């Protein structure tokens, strides 16, 4: 990350709507060739922050540079190299897929080839269908195609897989990965932890308008190793502690967590104790915390 070219620089950004502080003094960067995920619950301030980066909304306080441009005063120059995927809509319901993509590619001097773009997002068979006839996943794919119309150097994608089925998600993720691998700085706003976990090179966690953590997934998980497993039986955790010294906690109906690094000796002790007591063992996972757990630890709540 440190060697990558910084494409987006947000410094002490605050956005207020009257008395409401939507974004409260946040700073983060996004690098070219990386996927930077801005993660946070709905209403955390993600969209407001990204809209300032797009030049759509003015910052109340703070400064933002995108590809070296000030989005507020140099939006026209920036827009030629920027792709934007809105959280929802953005297309007239009666407009056809190919018609819409052609329109948008025409708005850029060096726009992408419309046919290739429609094919890349897997909508060739729907090229004549209107927006209102598309499924949720197809609409998201069309929105993504419009974000790529500029052949962007920076792309702001707001909840790109929202409402999309599993196959559609995989297709959209592959396109986003491809976009970043071609040098584009992808800034992806989402409240879906799974999305961030699968795509992010760098994660910025926002809650109540403030950045509460930022870093790579490994950095966010660092120092928070754990062993997590499931067992259908009700385990006597006191007996486990007395016999092995392992302190486990029950975190779900049949899920248990041991807050410790996954050392072989400890894993063997746990396995032996479960086997001797006749308890089944399922879904054993050891290592860094899941992003969901990191998020809960940092925010004290669900995403």
By CB under 8 A, name the binding residues for other proteins. Answer: 54-56, 75-76, 79-80, 82, 84, 86, 88-95, 99, 103-104, 106-109, 146, 150
**Nearer of residues 37 and 79 to other proteins, judged by Cβ:** 79
Residue with Cβ nearer other proteins (99 or 255) = 99
Nearer to other proteins, 152 or 209 (CB): 152
Q: Which is nearer to other proteins, 111 or 288 (CB)?
A: 111
Q: Nearest distance from residue 106's CB to other proteins, in Å?
A: 5
In angstroms, give the least distance from the CB of 265 to other proteins.
Answer: 56
Q: Which of 121, 82, 81, 79 is nearest to 100 (CA)?
A: 121
For other proteins, which is the closer residue by CB, 103 or 230?
Answer: 103
Q: Quote the least distance from Cβ 198 to other proteins, whole Å.
A: 26
At its nearest, how many Å lie between other proteins and the CB of residue 46? Answer: 16
- The least distance separating other proteins from the CB of residue 201, rounded to whole angstroms, comes to 24
| Closest CA relative to residue 287, chosen from 229, 224, 216 | 224
């Amino acid at each position: 990350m440190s060697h990558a070219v910084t494409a987006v620089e947000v410094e002490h950004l605050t956005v207020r709507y009257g008395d409401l502080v939507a974004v409260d003094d946040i700073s983060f960067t996004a690098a070219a060739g990386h996927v930077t995920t801005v993660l946070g619950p709905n209403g955390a301030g993600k969209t407001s922050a990204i809209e300032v980066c797009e030049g759509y909304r003015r910052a109340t306080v703070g400064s933002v540079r995108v590809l070296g441009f000030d989005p507020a005063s140099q939006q026209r120059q920036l827009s030629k190299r920027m792709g934007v995927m809105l959280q929802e809509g953005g297309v007239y319901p009666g407009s056809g897929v190919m018609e819409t993509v052609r329109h948008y590619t025409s708005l850029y001097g060096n726009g992408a080839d419309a046919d290739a773009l429609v094919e890349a997002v897997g909508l060739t068979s729907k090229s004549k269908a209107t927006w209102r006839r598309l499924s949720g996943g197809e609409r998201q794919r069309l929105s993504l195609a419009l974000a790529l119309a500029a052949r962007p150097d920076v792309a702001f994608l707001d909840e790109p897989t929202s409402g999309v089925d599993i196959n559609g998600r995989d297709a959209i993720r592959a396109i986003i990965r491809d976009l970043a691998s071609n040098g584009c700085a992808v800034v992806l706003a989402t409240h879906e932890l799974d999305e961030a976990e699968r795509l992010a090179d760098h994660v910025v966690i926002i809650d109540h308008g403030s950045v509460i953590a930022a870093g790579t997934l490994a950095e966010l998980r660092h120092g928070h190793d754990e062993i997590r497993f499931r067992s259908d039986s009700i385990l006597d955790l006191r007996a486990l502690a007395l016999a092995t010294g392992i302190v486990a906690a029950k975190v779900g109906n049949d899920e248990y967590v041991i807050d410790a690094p996954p050392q072989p000796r400890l894993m063997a002790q746990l396995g032996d104790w479960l086997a001797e007591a006749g308890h089944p063992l399922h879904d054993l996972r050891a290592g860094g915390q899941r992003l969901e757990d990191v998020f809960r630890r940092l925010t004290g709540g669900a995403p």
